[in-house]
Structure 1
């Protein structure tokens, strides 16, 4: 069954459309949600590089510690610890 044609003129329909505020709250929530999502994407993008660099440095430091403690590298505990601190501190 076809929809009936409106009895108003196109100008009256446009005027009613522009002045009608029903659904405005939904539009506000859509804009607000999009803004929050955009801020979230921006934060992740900005912090991504720093997090990757930090995790890479942590991995390298753990490998240095494994090398120093894993074998007979000579030196006592204090010397090994100082060597680890120097190498990890340089990252």
Structure 2
């Protein structure tokens, strides 16, 4: 029994998206972002005083700095701010 054309297109779309996401260049960017965020958080915790208590903001700055383009960085920043606002609202 042959697959329906809609199912074939959906499968091809998903397969293409997975291939696009798992390209070595994207994985390298993801690894750089993860490393930068981790280092920023660890170093941010070492800052004395009240600033060190807000070390969880340091990874955001690192991600913005490592992001591959201005548009992606801006979109990520806006999404992060929205997520933070929603988290604060829920808390």
TM over 0.5: no
TM-score where L is the length of structure 2: 0.40
TM-score where L is the length of structure 1: 0.40
Greater CA radius of gyration, 1 or 2?
1
The structure in which a higher percent of residues are helix is 2
Of structures 1 and 2, the one with the larger relative CO (CA 8 A, separation 6+) is: 1
